[in-house]
Structure 1
Amino acid sequence: MGMTHLPAGQPGVEVAPAEPQVKPPKMYKVVMLNDDYTPMDFVVDVLRRFFSMNPEKAVKVMLQVHHDGRAVCGVYRYEIAESKAMQVVEYAKAHEHPLQCAVEAA
């Protein structure tokens, strides 16, 4: 037996509760930026370590950074994107490299 969807307050009529409308979270890109100092093998290591890329994908993205000046490493919710970008920068600094990442709306 189905429920009738009528305005609340009418006697003898059962009203089904409305389904909550949940919007998906806004997504953000982690973008790696090129510099003239960070070695290519270090960039590949970062892409594998922080973005779980296989070696072939990591090399492809590294070359895109090298040739185009930037490349998207992944798309995440804001908190995750910000955390990954910060981890990359901290790891690069610890290894004395100026590698930078930016977070941009997807």
Structure 2
Amino acid sequence: MSTEQPAVVVRPTVTFTVASDEELERPYRVIVENDDVTPMDFVVFVLRVFFELDLNRATQVMLTAHYEGRALVTVLPFQEAQERVYQAHHVAREAGYPLTFYLEPDS
């Protein structure tokens, strides 16, 4: 007869939040944050390619972020906003830049 204690396995608890279709269609603001590393022309490029801003609007958004620390890029349904931010982050990381976007609910 063995006197060894059985191994105890502790598994972390994972919580999933299920969002309704209504919540996913709710508009979200896409915000770009300023950083001191990402070149301005790269920011304008990302804004034009992934957020479909024209050159003047992309330049205006980039300059607002540069001088004020952050700027509103666009307002989109949650899933679309999340996908565009993911793509923009991916391209920025591939290029070695810390360009950052985040989402906040549009009131």
TM-score over 0.5 (shorter chain): yes
Distance (whole Å) between structure 1 residues aligned to residue 72 and residue 80 of structure 2? 14
- Give the percent of matched residue pairs that are identical in Structure 1 and Structure 2: 38
Q: How does 1:1-106 map to 2 (within 5 A)?
A: 25-106=25-106
Alpha-carbon distance, 1:79 to partner: 0.5
1:97 partner letter: Y
2:94 partner letter: A
Q: SS at 1:82's partner residue?
A: helix
Distance (whole Å) between structure 2 residues aligned to residue 100 and residue 36 of structure 1? 12
Give the CA RMSD over aligned residues: 1.4
Alpha-carbon distance, 1:45 to partner: 0.3
Q: Which has the higher contact order (CA 8 A, sep 6+)?
A: 2
1:67 partner letter: Y
Larger C-alpha radius of gyration, 1 or 2?
1
Q: Post-superposition, which runs of at least 4 consecutive aligned residues in structure 1 deviate over 2 A?
A: none
Higher helix share: 2
1:35 partner letter: D
Aligned length: 84
1:57 partner letter: R
**Structure 1 residues 1-59: Cα deviation after superposition (integer angstroms, max 9, x where no partner):** xxxxxxxxxxxxxxxxxxxxxx7931101111111100000000001101111111111
TM-score by length of 2: 0.74
Q: Which runs of 5+ in 2 are unaligned?
A: 1-21
